[in-house]
Chains A and B, each alone.
Chain A
Amino acid sequence: MNSPEDDWSKWMRAANAGDEAAYRQVLAAFVPILREFARRTLLRYGRGPEDVEDVVQETLLAIHLKRQTWDGKRPILPWVKAIARNKLIDGLRRQGFRQSVPIDDVIDLLPAAETEAELSGAELERLLGRLQGRQAEVVRAISLEGISIREVGLRLGISEGAVRVALHRGLKSLASAYGEQNP
Chain B
Amino acid sequence: MKTQELIRCLAADGATTPPSVRLNFASALGLGALLALTAMLLTLGARPDFAAALHTWRFTFKFLVTGLLGIMAVRACRMAWRPDAHFQTLDWMSVLAAPAILLGAVGVELGTVPHAVWLARLVGSNSMVCLMAIPALALTPLALLLFVMRQGAPRSPVGAGALAGLASAAIAATAYAAHCPDDSPLFVAVWYTLGTLLVVAAGALAGRTWLRW
Is there contact, CB below 8 Å, between B3 and A60? Answer: yes
Select one of A82, A143, A149 contacting B155, CB under 8 A.
Answer: A82
Q: Determine if A33 is an interface residue (Cβ-Cβ < 8 Å).
A: no
Chain A interface residue number, banded: 35 or more
- Known: A20-B15, A64-B13, A164-B13. Contact between A119 and B3, CB under 8 A? yes
- Known: A69-B81, A83-B153, A143-B8. Contact between A62 and B17, CB under 8 A? no
Q: Determine if A92 is an interface residue (Cβ-Cβ < 8 Å).
A: no
Grouping DSSP codes into helix (H, G, I), strand (E, B) and loop, the A interface class, with mixed when no group exceeds half, is: helix
Query: Which residue of chain A is the closest to B2 with respect to CB atoms?
Result: A120
Number of interface residues of B (CB under 8 A): 32
- Known: A18-B17, A82-B83, A86-B83. Contact between A167 and B9, CB under 8 A? yes
Alpha-carbon distance between A164 and B10 when the two chains are bound, in angstroms: 11
Is there contact, CB below 8 Å, between B6 and A60? Answer: yes
Is there contact, CB below 8 Å, between B3 and A117? Answer: yes
Q: Hey, which chain A residues are within 8 Å of B5, CB to CB?
A: 120, 143-144, 146
Q: Determine if B116 is an interface residue (Cβ-Cβ < 8 Å).
A: no
Q: Hey, which chain B residues are within 8 Å of A15, CB to CB?
A: 14
Chain A residues with CB under 8 Å of chain B are 15-16, 18-21, 23-24, 27-28, 31, 53, 56-57, 60-62, 64-71, 74, 78-79, 81-83, 86, 117-121, 124-125, 128, 139, 142-144, 146, 148-149, 164, 167-168, 171
